[in-house]
Structure 1
């Protein structure tokens, strides 16, 4: 049996399991008709206030629509970022359940929250196509799915933007970013990505929306944006469910 098909039983069971169980809010445990109840959604996934238009870090009310000092001092390769929420308690546990616990039913809810944030972001231009941040081959086999792709699929339908699941490739497995220092994270992402050879014509001159579950230091998204632009992308905008606040 190929690795591709051996992953399907686990993925299918994980996806179907949630549909067979009574629906309770993943955050408060109360009854809900969705993975997260309306009250928790309004409290924890309402956009997080004013953010830097480039990296989505929080700003003061008077700075709405502006870039933060860090982005002005050293502009990243990406042009804009929209985040639906802060990566903080209790949403961080929800993201971890999606990322490592196979809670795939949470992905469409994350996509819905991200859609609302995208449409509400001042001056944000919708990209022409979507590209999920790819996983390395060994990590994909181990996990059985790519959480960024699981969010990107429903987001593509909600926004009416074409999804290219294999536009970007990650041919080598790099160490997990969470285990590295900020300096090591940037070095770790050098040369991590490629554009698929049959996607070169799709990238050239286009505005690409990169989808991911969490943005922390931004080094992964910066490296992917740099790769896309090196192969001809005109603009790269990040669309992430959660943004880790600066410490």
Structure 2
């Protein structure tokens, strides 16, 4: 078994038969390792801001932050709110290298994106994973955003470009900072590859969770300033506004 995510062979067996649900342990009635009851009880994102996907009480509205300071990205696409058990699955994938959890979430996200594409969501030209700082990459051993982007790329047949955006500075962990500090923390943290082709392209940033959106805003502005025609954000989960119920 090869433990490096860049290895082109299988990193674990993913047979679409006789699956057991990764949540309850019962036999799955689908081709994925999650049963229908558990899938239906996931915290699916409902009414939300039409730009940043912040959970809202009514659908079709734009949140105050996006009205006050419109982001450079056009739309955030996220299937779930960051609540149980999605938060636990992402944590196990991200911090404990339990890749089957991440793969399951990516497979479900693919189904959601296929539906959105069939409705009205424009397909991007390429998927751009949010780069991880060198310090955290050495400690963790893999970039969870890059792994998600590769899985989405394989299933959606959309190119994945991991070299287009470069992390130029290591920064403090974003989860320990408030919104203002996060934005300041990201100044000059990213750059474009010198040979990157941006102009006229519709690009989608890929990450695991969107919290304040500071990273997404910074990267989207960088890409739009370089001539991108549109930037979307694809993430597994969107956090609620602090103080709101998850």
Structure 2: gaps (5+ residues): none
Offset from partner CA, 1:77-102 (integer Å, 9 cap, x none): 21111101111112101000110110
Q: Does 1:48 align with 2:45?
A: yes
In the other structure, the counterpart of 2:25 is 29
Instruction: Give the number of the structure whose residues are more often helix, by fraction.
Output: 1
Q: Does 1:209 align with 2:204?
A: yes
Say if 1:116 and 1:34 are closer, same or farther in 2 by CA, change over 3 A: closer
Cα drift, residue 23 of structure 1: 5.7
Q: Distance in 2 between matches of 1:40 and 1:171?
A: 41
Q: Does 1:167 align with 2:139?
A: no
Cα drift, residue 193 of structure 1: 0.9
Q: State the aligned residue count.
A: 233
Q: Distance in 1 between matches of 2:95 and 2:14?
A: 16
Q: Does 1:107 align with 2:102?
A: yes
Cα drift, residue 203 of structure 1: 1.3
Residue 227 of structure 2, aligned match among 197, 209, 232: 232
Cα drift, residue 146 of structure 1: 0.7
Task: Give the TM-score normalised by the residue count of structure 2.
Answer: 0.85
In the other structure, the counterpart of 2:36 is 38
Say if 1:117 and 1:57 are closer, same or farther in 2 by CA, change over 3 A: farther
In the other structure, the counterpart of 2:63 is 68
Q: Distance in 2 between matches of 1:160 and 1:67?
A: 31
Task: Give the TM-score normalised by the residue count of structure 1.
Answer: 0.84
Partners of 1:86 and 1:245 within 8 A in 2:
yes
Partners of 2:169 and 2:188 within 8 A in 1:
no
Cα drift, residue 24 of structure 1: 4.2
In the other structure, the counterpart of 1:181 is 178
Cα drift, residue 17 of structure 1: 8.1
Where 2:162 maps in the other structure, the secondary structure is: coil
Q: CA RMSD in A?
A: 2.4
Where 2:21 maps in the other structure, the secondary structure is: coil
Where 2:55 maps in the other structure, the secondary structure is: coil
Partners of 1:111 and 1:151 within 8 A in 2:
yes
Structure 1: gaps (5+ residues): 1-7
Partners of 1:175 and 1:188 within 8 A in 2:
yes
Partners of 1:114 and 1:239 within 8 A in 2:
no
Residue 83 of structure 1, aligned match among 58, 72, 78: 78
Partners of 1:27 and 1:91 within 8 A in 2:
no
